Amino acid sequence: MHSAQAKYAYVWRRRLSDAFSTLRTAIVGVSGYSGAELARLLLRHPRLQNTLPLFLGHYGTESRSVALTDIHPQLSGLPNADDAGVTGWNWNQLQREGVDLLFLATPHEQSREWVPEALARGLRVVDLSGAWRLRDETNRAVYKLHDADAALAATVQAEAVYGSPELHGPAIAKARLVANPGCYSTSIILALAPLLRANMVDLDCGIICDSKSGVSGAGKAPTPTTHFMNAADNLSAYAVFGHRHTGELLEQLQLTENQIQFTPHLLPIPRGILSTIYVRLADSGTTENIQACFDAFYAEAPLVRIRRSPALPQIQHVVRTNFCDIGFSLSPDGKRLVIVSCLDNLLKGAASQAVQNMNLMAGWHETEGLL
């Protein structure tokens, strides 16, 4: 554990002696892969031991309940997990249970419909879907969303905060609505943001992002593409020039579509993302100044680990962890740079980043329950 992580781990242990929080959380969509990881993290969160999360299923089926561990047996033995049930819900259910913060691990269309109502009822929301990530209507069109009240949706969209703690921590802390980033987007944005903000990249030469993800990134519902017979012993590109995370790259990195090309690939593994990013520097650089750029940018970011060049991250080093690992290799001429960024798509790419955002919204340290 490097010194910064040791410091935050120490602070976290000290805070275990503090009184538990009364924050009440709820998860809608707990049956999916990301929902399961979110449930696991909240059940073990040191601040939430006296306030069991509410696990909710389909709207309007409040009387029906199923044991959480029947859906996710792997959670058995965690604090309160074996006694927890997943119930149907309606808005009054959330009010009766005293819910303060709502996690939506729901389809994009559902989140787009429900968030305005949640905010009107005084709830704060962390939305894991893509419904509120994109401000530009052209970028958002890939989700094919339809708003019953376009004016209200525009107002809500204007206050949504993109949930990258490393980039928008202060805004997240004050937000009512946090739009959790996409998994691919997180791996690429964190890798490029330090260099772009330092104006070190020659944008005229373009940026190439070659990303590969495990099958869980496609969600729990089976498809012909993610079926074992297609995914096993295979590697395939998909959504070329049209992946829905592209808009996040454009907006968060302030790039045009002519300056960056993102191509995702499906790996025959359960989970994990590796993004290999190719850039040309505006001026000849050195390994030392590239390293210094990353180190300085993420000096106060405990869940981003910067490797020492020439060491490069691998999926096996981040899977089932809450970290994003970043490394790089610089060409001998000092002009061409390859960056490798790895994370677990279900954790730093989804559930643990959502908990990181919750911590900031609650006024806690962002690593509580994650280190």
pLDDT at 195 exceeding the cut of 80: yes
CATH topology of domain 184-343: Dihydrodipicolinate Reductase; domain 2 (3.30.360)
- pLDDT per position as a tens digit, 267-285: 999 999 999 999 999 999 9
- pLDDT band for 88, please (50, 70, 90 cuts): confident
- pLDDT per position as a tens digit, 236-274: 999 999 999 999 999 999 999 999 999 999 999 999 999
Return residue ranges of the chain for CATH 3.40.50.720.
3-180+350-362
Please report the pLDDT score of residue 229 as a whole number.
Answer: 87
- pLDDT band for 60, please (50, 70, 90 cuts): low
The residue among 213, 214, 168 whose CA lies nearest residue 189 is: 168
Q: Which pairs from 90-93 meet CB under 8 Å and 24+ separation?
A: 90/59, 90/60, 90/62, 91/117, 91/121, 93/56, 93/62
- pLDDT band for 6, please (50, 70, 90 cuts): very low
d(CA 161, CA 45): 24
> In CATH, what number does 3-180+350-362 get?
3.40.50.720
Q: What does the block give as tokens for 114? A: 């429900």
The residue among 67, 117, 7, 23 whose CA lies nearest residue 364 is: 23
Q: Are the C-beta atoms of residues 125 and 177 closer than 8 Å to each other?
A: yes
User: What are 340's strand-pairing partners?
Assistant: 276, 327
**Catalytic machinery residues:** 183
- pLDDT per position as a tens digit, 9-23: 444 444 443 545 789
- pLDDT per position as a tens digit, 325-347: 999 999 999 999 999 999 999 99
Name every residue whose Cβ is closer than 8 Å to that of residue 238 and which is 6 or more positions away in sequence.
Answer: 225, 264, 265, 266
- pLDDT per position as a tens digit, 135-189: 999 999 999 999 999 999 999 999 999 999 999 999 999 999 999 999 999 999 9
* pLDDT-above-90 percentage for the chain: 85
Please report the pLDDT score of residue 225 as a whole number.
Answer: 87
Q: What is the mean pLDDT of residues 97-117?
A: 96
Please report the pLDDT score of residue 167 as a whole number.
Answer: 98
Question: The whole model's pTM is what?
Answer: 0.92
